[in-house]
């Protein structure tokens, strides 16, 4: 076995294999015009959790969901006139729009990192488009590198960073742009540029009018800048070994104390990937009026546990 035997030239057979892996909840690295993405079925919480696991991400940043066409965004997000104008002008292409999740949005809450928005992009690369069409699912895909490493612009970069953490790397040659997509947030009154990229501020302003910069208050919406960005309405009580009758219990592992008003278990078997997949959905479900708090059992700090605990600590942080 050579070091790079998970790289395959992206021919018809490899695309078919990639689509099969993705539909089964697996990971595939694929080329886009910006950088290589580490893709998973964006409607599958467990598959999305596997992305964070493979990247070794210490926290759950929200992910960009990739679509084959702009029309595929219907029913996933709320498209206003500004979004439609940008889609017409810049999709397919290196532009990501952060939009309000639609009612009944099929996208994983983990891909949104618990936010009520979702980032979408229609990549302008024929292999990415072909993969999206064949898979028939929206694909969540951050850059295909370990956390903290540089974004990969070739299949070899992906293999060097992720190794056998990804079963298949589709080789489409070097990326044309080599720089991650522009991210614009359209959830507020005024659009905000969250990440500069190949679609320039000037180009966006020509389509939309003035845009708030990343130094403005609007850009505080960019996750990671806030100590508490997804917080349930109920206070969180961490490291709980028991829960009272007016508390909801977010449990982990096989041994769950009785006595809570309501209990949801992140993973009865103590599996951290499963726990990550369930985290935001369970927090939303337990966040009910009438209760005093959500008590959270201890989660080990190893592997994805660090990311889970990071989010829990943020959700428990004093509210500003
Ligand atoms: O070019 C690209 O965008 C590549 C290729 C693979 O498409 N993807 C990429 O993904 O760079 P990633 O995960 O490395 O960067 C996603 C960026 C992050 O800065 C994240 O905070 C932001 O998009 N983002 C994603 N969802 C968001 C949301 N709901 N609200 C605000 N920002 C969001
Ligand atoms: Mg990245």
DSSP letters along 172-211, please?
--S-SS-SPPEEEE-SSSS-EEEE--SS-HHHHHHHHS--
Ligand 1 center–CA 103 separation, angstroms = 22
CB 277 within 8 A of CB 264: no
Residue bearing the CA closest to ligand 1, atom 32:
222
Residue bearing the CA closest to ligand 1, atom 6:
37
Counting ligands in written order, which one lies closest to the CA of residue 59? 1
CB 266 within 8 A of CB 282: yes
Per-residue model confidence (pLDDT) at position 275: 93
CB of 223 shorter than 6 A to ligand 1: yes
Per-residue model confidence (pLDDT) at position 230: 60
Instruction: Indicate the pTM of the whole model.
Output: 0.87
Per-residue model confidence (pLDDT) at position 320: 54
Counting ligands in written order, which one lies closest to the CA of residue 181? 1
Per-residue model confidence (pLDDT) at position 194: 93
Distance in angstroms (rounded) separating the CA atoms of residues 24 and 246: 40
Q: At 237, phi and psi to the nearest 5?
A: -115, 110
| 3-class SS of residue 237 | strand
Q: In this structure, is the dihedral angle defined by the CA atoms of residues 91, 96, 102 and 106, taken in order, positive or negative?
A: positive
In the numeric block, which tokens belong to residue 316?
A: 């428990």
Residue bearing the CA closest to ligand 1, atom 20:
62
**Contacts with 87 (C-beta within 8 Å, 6 or more apart), sequence order:** 70, 73, 79, 97, 122
Residue bearing the CA closest to ligand 1, atom 13:
142
Per-residue model confidence (pLDDT) at position 217: 44
Per-residue model confidence (pLDDT) at position 299: 97
Q: 196: buried, middle or exposed (CB in 10 Å: 19+, 13-18, 0-12)?
A: middle
CB of 114 shorter than 6 A to ligand 1: no
Distance in angstroms (rounded) separating the CA atoms of residues 69 and 121: 9
CB of 140 shorter than 6 A to ligand 1: no
Residue bearing the CA closest to ligand 1, atom 24:
62
CB of 34 shorter than 6 A to ligand 1: yes
Ligand 2 center–CA 162 separation, angstroms = 13
In the predicted model, residues of the chain with pLDDT beneath 50 are: 1-2, 215-220, 223-229
Per-residue model confidence (pLDDT) at position 198: 86
Per-residue model confidence (pLDDT) at position 280: 83
CB of 35 shorter than 6 A to ligand 1: yes
- Residue 56, sorted as left (phi over 0), alpha (psi -120 to 50) or beta, turns out to be left
| 3-class SS of residue 282 | helix
Quick one: DSSP state of residue 70? Answer: G
CB 169 within 8 A of CB 7: yes
Per-residue model confidence (pLDDT) at position 278: 87
């Amino acid at each position: 076995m050579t070091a790079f035997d998970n790289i395959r030239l992206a021919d018809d057979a490899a695309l078919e294999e990639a689509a099969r892996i993705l539909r089964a909840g697996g990971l595939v690295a694929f080329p886009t015009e910006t950088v290589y993405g580490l893709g998973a079925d964006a409607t599958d919480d467990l598959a999305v959790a596997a992305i964070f696991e493979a990247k070794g991400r210490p926290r759950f940043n929200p992910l960009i969901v990739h679509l084959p066409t702009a029309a595929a965004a219907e029913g996933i997000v709320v498209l206003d006139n500004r979004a439609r104008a940008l889609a017409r002008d810049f999709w397919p292409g290196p532009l990501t729009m952060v939009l309000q999740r639609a009612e009944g949005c099929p996208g994983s809450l983990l891909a949104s990192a618990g936010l009520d928005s979702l980032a979408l992009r229609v990549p302008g690369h024929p292999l990415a488009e072909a993969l999206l069409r064949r898979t028939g699912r929206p694909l969540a895909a951050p850059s295909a590198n370990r956390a903290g490493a540089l974004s990969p612009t070739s299949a070899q970069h992906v293999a060097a960073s992720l190794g056998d953490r990804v079963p298949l790397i589709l080789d489409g040659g070097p990326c044309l742009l080599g720089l991650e997509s522009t991210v614009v947030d359209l959830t507020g009154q005024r659009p905000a540029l969250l990440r500069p990229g190949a679609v320039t501020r000037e180009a966006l302003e020509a389509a939309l009018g003035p845009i708030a910069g990343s130094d403005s208050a609007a850009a505080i919406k960019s996750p990671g800048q806030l100590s508490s960005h997804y917080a349930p309405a109920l206070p969180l009580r961490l490291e709980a070994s028991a829960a009272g009758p007016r508390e909801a219990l977010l449990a982990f592992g096989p041994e769950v104390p009785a006595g809570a008003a309501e209990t949801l278990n992140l993973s009865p078997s103590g599996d951290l990937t499963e726990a990550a997949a369930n985290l935001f959905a369970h927090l939303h479900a337990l966040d009910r009026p009438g209760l005093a708090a959500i008590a959270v059992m201890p989660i080990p700090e190893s592997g994805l546990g660090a990311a889970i605990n990071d989010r829990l600590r943020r959700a428990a942080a004093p509210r500003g």
